[in-house]
Amino acid sequence: MRDENCIFCKIMAGEIPSRTLFEDDDFKVIMDVGPAAKGHSLIVPKQHYADIYELPSELAGEAMKLAKRMATHMTTVLNCDGFNIMQNNGEVAGQTVFHYHLHLVPRYKDAAPILTWTQNHFSDEEMDELAEKLSVK
């Protein structure tokens, strides 16, 4: 599966260069061109799936296994102090490239924050309603 207008499909096909850290039949791990921190890289499936909703469950599992392997390796090599694994779905969630990818972001003590949000407050009643609605039966 490929989308002719997708930059990551072109990178996966080798038509646009990337710094590739790992490759197998299903994935490439490439360095992000606009890194949030030193070493920020992306796990990208070779086939085009726009987001988590399109990604087959089996590949989702394989992507997370690869994330564990890469995070472990990168932490050793970079000697970073922590690690974020992130994934955006939809423009409102910050997705800018609509070909599924997992962000691997090494974190360093004293570096600028990259993830912040303001905590919301919902009433106990609203929280109970939400819990009921969101429960997987």
Chain residues that interact with ligand 5GP, rule: CB under 6 A: 7, 11, 18, 30-34, 88, 94-97
Neighbours of 119 (CB within 10 A): 4
Of 7, 4, 91, the closest CA to residue 51 belongs to: 91
Distance CA 17, CA 20 (A): 9
The beta strand positions in the chain, using DSSP E, are: 20-23, 27-31, 41-45, 82-86, 102-107
Q: How far is the CB of 108 from ligand 5GP (least distance, A)?
A: 18
Residues 53-112 that bind Zn ion (CB under 5 A): 99
The interface partner of residue 34, options being Zn ion, ligand 5GP, none and the CB cut-off 5 to 8 Å by kind, is ligand 5GP
Tokens of 107: 């974190």
28 lies in the binding site for Zn ion (CB under 5 A) = no
Q: Which is nearer to ligand 5GP, 37 or 80 (CB)?
A: 37
Active site residue 103: no
Interface residues with Zn ion (CB under 5 A) are: 3, 6, 8-9, 48, 99
